[in-house]
Structure 1
Amino acid sequence: MATASLVCNRDTWEFITSQSSRHPHFRMPPKITDREENRIAAALSGRSLIAVLICLFNTQETAPAGDADWALATTLYERISQGLITLAAAGTPVTITLDDRAPGTSTEDEFPPPSSGQQAPYEDKQLPQQPGPAAEADDDTDQDTGHDPSAPQE
């Protein structure tokens, strides 16, 4: 295989390059194409793709199970491997998409930016109060002494 194009989120690409950049066979692609919705496309040589797979495999073998690096490495290794397994012998270009979003969907679809002067509908959401002494107190009075710490001292 001469090249394969990886299409992924910028953060995913950063993870891939941070894992693979020290491998002697990895070469940073000469061109990384900016795609919509915070995605990129990078054409990797077969040699670089092998380095990526080796580094992802090593990370999944050495990182503690459940660790973020382990989870990312495992998922990416499986996705890239699956993309290569379905490779046709006819020499058609290979594109491996490492993104679960359907084309045209983004967080802006769910939470569009507010027009000028308006507050976004999600900005006023607050986390529910947790049960316990702090959530049960209706005022700033110290429950043990009955003293309001914000009141002026006499």
Structure 2
Amino acid sequence: PGVDEQSTLRLSGQGEQIRDGVPGNLFVTLKVKPHPQLGRSGKQILFDLPVTVAQATLGDEIEIPSVDGPLEFVLPAGTQPDQQFKLRGKGVPDIRGGDRGDQIVAVHVVIPRDLTLEQRHLFEQLDASLGREIEMPKEKGFFSRLKEALG
């Protein structure tokens, strides 16, 4: 675990033997097999998580894949489309003994294309209940974010 694509390993004394001599070194170039659900960028693991409107709004506990096997991810209520979450230490281990990378979970809210009459009615009720005024969250400035980070 933790090797990069095209990493080369040297196996001392495992190569071809020269006539009446010692065996040389064998060099092996590695190809990393892609995972069907996870992507990779350096030590980071990337995962796209599709969720329903209800899951994003209400929150949910969802089993997701990781390099260590399945793990329980808590999707917080009010998750916004394309919001990303960083799972610290859940990425690729460093083969040189450093820290592990992180796993980035990118949430994609999937809007239904075809609704039944009942579902449409429920969405219309929700729309009437919420109203049409949308207040965009204010972007925090540099000093506000720094103050939050420092506690």
Give the structure with the larger helix fraction.
Answer: 1
Per the TM superposition, whether the score is higher than 0.5 is no
TM-score if structure 2 supplies the norm length? 0.18
Structure with the bigger percentage of strand: 2
Scaled by the length of structure 1, what TM-score is found?
A: 0.18
